[in-house]
Amino acid sequence: MKRPTINDVAALAGVSRATASRAMSDYGRISADTVERVKAAALELGYQPNAVAQSMRAGNTKTIGLVVIADFTNVFFDRATKGIVDAARDQGYEVIISNTDENIAIEREAINTLLQKQVDGLIVVPSTAAVHDHLSPTSRQNKPLVIIDRMVPGVNATSITTNDFESCEAAVKEAVAKGHKNLSFLIATSTIEGFDSEKPMLRNTTIEDRVNGFMNGVIDTKSKKAQWVYCSENPATAEAAVNHLLDSKAPPSIIFTSNNDMALAVLKVAGKRGLELGKDISLVTVDDSQWLEAISPGITVVERPVDEVARLAVEKLLEHINNKAKKPEKIVLPTRLISRGSVANLKAK
């Protein structure tokens, strides 16, 4: 069955196509009686206006393009995505989501696709800080842009990040104050295959901040026994890296992990070895979640304000959409260390 058109509505209402279109869109100088007659005709015919076409005529589509990494099991990006979608919907916007799997080529393609869909603005978690020409105003067709979670030096756009450095530093100092001397750090990065003790190039500023915070804690506490392992985000590889640390000549009493995936690897290996968390091995990770608090003992975390990041991302993007002259901002939100039972107090033994 052929779908009714605006021409059909106009004919039934006895008005011109232009008048019918204005009546359906509630603009122009048209009497209330005419608007009522046109809308009644549309209802009778089952006519549905083309929302995209209406938006394009109005100069916007009420859509936001969100480009994030692919791993939605990551608690931060899972919650951030939901928060952005909810906040946008509250403001009458829908969100089109693309993922990149931390791949710059896929990121470029995703942004091009979103631009073709005529989104009003972009919220992006960049795959790397090293390559960003596709985020320039010209490349993104002057669409407003907000970058979250990571900084990209050289891109003139509002960014919303978190101060991971201070809380990661505090986590090390707290552990040392509890008597921990053999410290290990398990850092997730997409820049290597397998795992290695040598620091590779880290492509995003957030991981750099965590590493630097951990390292500053080591330096300030004058800790002499610190092992570093950089690991690809592959579960089997992460577990192998944990086994490597625990089998070393000076096995750690505590492992600091840069995200929940690495923390999960520690828990799996500890379980297989019969190690009791908070006694035989201690653990600190970044980004809180319900399961980290629910297990016994709860895991000490560097908590980031993910809901605030999401809310601000939408708020700032809409400000840029509604005011093209608005200058970019660099917003850095505070984090906090939440201490739980996963860090043993060795001085109390």
pLDDT digits (tens, 9 = 90+) for 207-218: 999 999 999 999
List residues bridging with 257 in a β-sheet. 186
Distance CA 328, CA 326 (A): 7
Domain 63-162+306-334 class in CATH: alpha beta
pTM for the full predicted model: 0.82
Looking at domain 164-304+337-348, does it have CATH number 3.40.228.10?
A: no
Domain coordinates in residue numbering, the chain? 6-49, 63-162+306-334, 164-304+337-348
Q: Tokens 């921990």 correspond to what residue?
A: 180
pLDDT at residue 273 greater than cutoff 60: yes
Domains 63-162+306-334 and 164-304+337-348 share a fold: yes
Distance CA 212, CA 75 (A): 22
Which two three-digit tokens encode residue 236?
């089997």
Which two three-digit tokens encode residue 296?
């016994």
> 182, 250 in Cβ contact below 8 A?
yes
Please name which of 66, 31, 261, 213 lies closest in space to residue 148, comparing C-alpha atoms.
66
pLDDT digits (tens, 9 = 90+) for 230-264: 999 899 999 999 999 999 999 999 999 999 999 99
pLDDT at residue 52 greater than cutoff 60: no
User: Within 46-163, where are the H helices?
Assistant: 51-58, 75-90, 104-116
Distance CA 68, CA 126 (A): 8
pLDDT at residue 154 greater than cutoff 90: no
- Report the pLDDT value the prediction gives residue 349, as an integer from 0 to 100: 63
Question: How many residues are present in the chain?
Answer: 349
Rounded to an integer, the average pLDDT of 42-48 is 84
